[in-house]
Amino acid sequence: MSHQPVAIVGIGQTHHKRKRADVSIAGLVREAAQRALEDANMDWGDIDAVVLGKAPDLFEGVMKPEMYLADALGAVNKPMFRVHTAGSVGGSTGIVGSHLVSSGRHKRVLSVAFEKQSEGNAQFALGGGKGASIGAGGAFAPFIRAYIRRSGAPEDIGWMVAVKDRLNGAKNPYAHLKLADITIDKVKESPMMWDPLHFLESCPSSDGACAVVFTDEDGGKAASKPPAWVLATAMKSEPGWYSGRDAVNPQAAHACAQEIYKTVGITNPREQIDCAELYVPFSWYEPMWLEAHEIAAPGEGWKMTQSGATALDGDFPVNMSGGVLSSNPIGASGLLRFAEAALQVRGLAEDHQVGGANLAIAQAYGANAQFFAMWAVGSSLNPLG
């Protein structure tokens, strides 16, 4: 299969908050999109196609928002695509945008993803509109309990992730939570939400949006700021529920990672990848995903957290942006991971920049840990030399 190279030349995001009372949904997505266009030194008219992603429509109660938002995002007389893959949708939205360029069909594509959680209630929506919703935390807590037992990880690993990601978030001007004074004690003393997950080990509920502008190779070379190059993309799915399924270690996660590493030529992810944005809505997903994406050996992921390897100044920084634990506009959360990886290899991540980042990965997952999206981005088309 031959693909055209794809460059990321514009990235924008909103200031994420519990409630963005100052904007409509259209205003929210436009805020992110306009920042991305400005970053790309482009205007609405320069865009050939628009891709929009968000999580279930029941979150805001606006059905098929792509219809209402087409003209708000400059898609009049242009193709507009709606993507939905649950929590991984932001990642998928970026990947679909990149494919519209890599296929040679379009030269400049805008991907936008959002959630305005304050307009509804995620627990209500995830519970299908009924009482006694277990929510995402309730769904994932058993997986985490199984991981802790099988890996033998000490209980403070989750607390460490919660602290580390919030300290990173405090360096990110767009993050919802900026908890610069968070401590291990504060995390473990916060209320138990979904045993073994404490309140401060859980993601917030946020309003926010993220946007990315993709161009072809010529556009990347002509860009006024350094571009990021999309080196590989992968999306994999598996059934959410079947008898005996091991949701701690989904096959789809492994398949995603293997495809990315093979495409880029990565043989030692821990050594060759400079940093990663992983979808960690609950603290323990950091070690779980390090293992399921083959960055750490089985049972060894928590040791990377414990040793400080995943801290901003570690040898394998994870969630430099503060991650989902610091901002969770659900539909946008995947694209925020993907965009942060690109910011890092562009060298534009400011206070949360990893020095010399040339190869970064980003990952998102969704539903019952069954939809996976992943990409690798580089400061050049061949960062491994």
Partner 1 sequence: MADTVQEFVFNLTFPFTRTLGSTLSTFSSALAQGQIIGVRTGGRVIAPPLEYDPDTAADSGSDWVRVGPKGTVSTWTWVPEPTNLHPLDHAFGFAFITLDGADTPMLHVVDAGSESAMAAGMRVEASFKAPADCVGRIDDIIAFVPATDPSPSEGAGEPFVAPEENDITEMDAYCDLTYVDNASPTTTMWAKALMEGRIIGQKCPQCERTIVGPRGMCSVCAIELDESHVIDVPDRGVVSNFTIVTPVQYHGQTETEPFVRCSILLDGANAVIAQQEILGITASEVRVGMHVECVWAPANERSVQDIDNRSRGSGGDAIIGWRLTGEPDEPAENYLNRMM
Q: Which residues bind partner 1 (CB under 8 A)?
A: 19-27, 30, 44-45, 60-61, 71-74, 76, 116, 118-121, 123-124, 128-135, 137-139, 141-143, 145-146, 149-150, 191-195, 239, 241-248
Return d(Cα 72, Cα 299) in angstroms, integer: 47
User: Which is nearer to partner 1, 119 or 217 (by Cβ)?
Assistant: 119
Residue with tokens 């083959």: 294
Helix ranges, 170-226 (H): 184-189, 217-222
Minimum CB–partner distance for residue 128 and partner 1 (Å): 8
Extract the tokens encoding 75.
């898609």
Return d(Cα 17, Cα 3) in angstroms, integer: 38
Minimum CB–partner distance for residue 292 and partner 1 (Å): 14
User: Which is nearer to partner 1, 247 or 360 (by Cβ)?
Assistant: 247
Minimum CB–partner distance for residue 94 and partner 1 (Å): 21
Residue 211: partners with Cβ closer than 8 Å, 6 or more residues away: 10, 11, 12, 13, 29, 32, 33, 35, 36, 37, 110, 111, 112, 113, 335
User: Which is nearer to partner 1, 9 or 72 (by Cβ)?
Assistant: 72
The partner residues of 228 in beta bridges, in order of sequence, read 8
The partner residues of 207 in beta bridges, in order of sequence, read 17, 116
| H/E stretch holding 29 | helix 25-39
Minimum CB–partner distance for residue 299 and partner 1 (Å): 13
Return d(Cα 138, Cα 193) in angstroms, integer: 9
Minimum CB–partner distance for residue 205 and partner 1 (Å): 9
What single letter denotes the amino acid at residue 285? Y
User: Which is nearer to partner 1, 30 or 352 (by Cβ)?
Assistant: 30
Minimum CB–partner distance for residue 196 and partner 1 (Å): 9
User: Which is nearer to partner 1, 64 or 268 (by Cβ)?
Assistant: 64
User: Which is nearer to partner 1, 25 or 234 (by Cβ)?
Assistant: 25
Return d(Cα 226, Cα 252) in angstroms, integer: 33
